[in-house]
Amino acid sequence: MAVKLFSGRATQYLAEKIANAYGEPLGTVNYQQFSDGEMSPFIAESVRGHDVFIIQSTFAPSDNLMELLLMVDAAKRASSANVNVIIPYFGYARQDRKDKPRVAIAAKMIANLLSAAGADRIMACDLHADQIQGFFDIPVDHLDGSYIFVPYLKSLKLNDIMFATPDVGGIKRARNFAKFFNAELAVCDKHRKEANKIESMRLIGEVEGKDVILVDDLVDTAGTICKAAGLLKENGAKSVRAVCTHAVLSGKAYENIEASALEEIVVSDTIPLRKESPKIKVLTVSDLFAKAIRKIHDNESISSLFIKL
């Protein structure tokens, strides 16, 4: 069966690069918008019997998620053989557990919605928590951003490299990088009273004279990562960089980064930048997703797309 690639409007910029890397043009999706804001996307070409891949991240606003669900439903009702949903950035992933009374587990709810809409397979990159894969009752291909970050970090040729995590929740991710580079690990232990507001932070580990790389899955307001960078410099780090897959960059994130001790923050293009910054370097995940699409369509293992951290 043939492959057809489609994109939602939010991720058109990335989908075009993925399609170019894959070697197939994006299919045509037209949109009707009612005056009250209700949207109606429709696929403008036949997908009957085809292996369909729909590319759309679900960052804010929530219309991006709704658009994706409607496109999945449209492809399913048009008799496509398979509907594969590529979500480079899986929004609402931070709500993956009941951490206080009377809260929603949004990540599970989104998984249910995608399955109900007709998705046969999900592909995402660096989910906020690995266990989110278990929220789905369909196959999930969880790609790893290290595929693009490791070669870049190698190219820097840092002599005294060390890795750090800006909070204890990211220890596993940072430890994987440290093991690959045969480097040491430090932890910035933060205490938070509410979302996006840090009460205090302390450093665990010796960083004096080291080129430290902070590792996280996403950067939102950049408050945590900038505070961690300052703490590392105060404790003698020679340089501090950060690697974060998803550049949410809301609120005063750009101002925080530019005023911080960070030499640079390296992100992917799963989310488009609102503006350029001399301290932000963007690496593309298009080749990673294009290779994954080809392997999935050919029923091949995707294990070669993982750097063994």
Query: For position 233, which CATH number holds?
Result: 3.40.50.2020
Q: What is the set of active-site residues?
A: 190
User: Is there a single domain that holds both residue 123 and residue 203?
Assistant: no
User: Is there a single domain that holds both residue 169 and residue 90?
Assistant: no
User: Is there a single domain that holds both residue 119 and residue 90?
Assistant: yes
Range of the domain at 131: 3-143+287-305
At 26, the pLDDT band (50, 70, 90 cuts) reads very high
User: Is there a single domain that holds both residue 155 and residue 272?
Assistant: yes
Query: What is the C-alpha separation between 90 and 62, in angstroms, rounded?
Result: 12
pLDDT at 262: 97
Q: Which residue has the higher pLDDT, 220 or 99?
A: 220
At 198, the pLDDT band (50, 70, 90 cuts) reads low
At 196, the pLDDT band (50, 70, 90 cuts) reads low
User: Is there a single domain that holds both residue 137 and residue 154?
Assistant: no
pLDDT at 150: 96
At 19, the pLDDT band (50, 70, 90 cuts) reads very high
User: Is there a single domain that holds both residue 161 and residue 46?
Assistant: no
pLDDT at 218: 95
Mean pLDDT (the chain, rounded): 94
Give me the helix-helix angle, 12-22 and 286-297, nearest 10°.
60
Element (H, E) at 137: none
For 219-240, what is the mean pLDDT?
95
User: Is there a single domain that holds both residue 80 and residue 206?
Assistant: no
> Known binding site: residues?
36-38, 94-95, 128, 167, 192, 216, 220-224
Q: Are 179 and 309 in contact (CB under 8 A)?
A: yes
pTM of the predicted protein model: 0.93
User: Is there a single domain that holds both residue 266 and residue 300?
Assistant: no
> Known binding site for Mg(2+): residues?
128, 167
Q: How far is CA 75 from the centre of its chain?
A: 24
User: Is there a single domain that holds both residue 186 and residue 130?
Assistant: no
The closest alpha carbon to 163, from 178, 149, 180, 182, belongs to 178
User: Is there a single domain that holds both residue 196 and residue 207?
Assistant: yes
> Known binding site for ATP: residues?
36-38, 94-95
User: Is there a single domain that holds both residue 96 and residue 189?
Assistant: no
Total of domains in the chain: 2
User: Is there a single domain that holds both residue 123 and residue 164?
Assistant: no
Cα 169–175–180 angle (5° rounding)?
150
Q: What is the pLDDT of residues 162-192, one digit of tens each?
A: 999 998 888 999 999 999 999 999 999 876 6
Tell me the sheet residues that pair with 237.
Answer: none
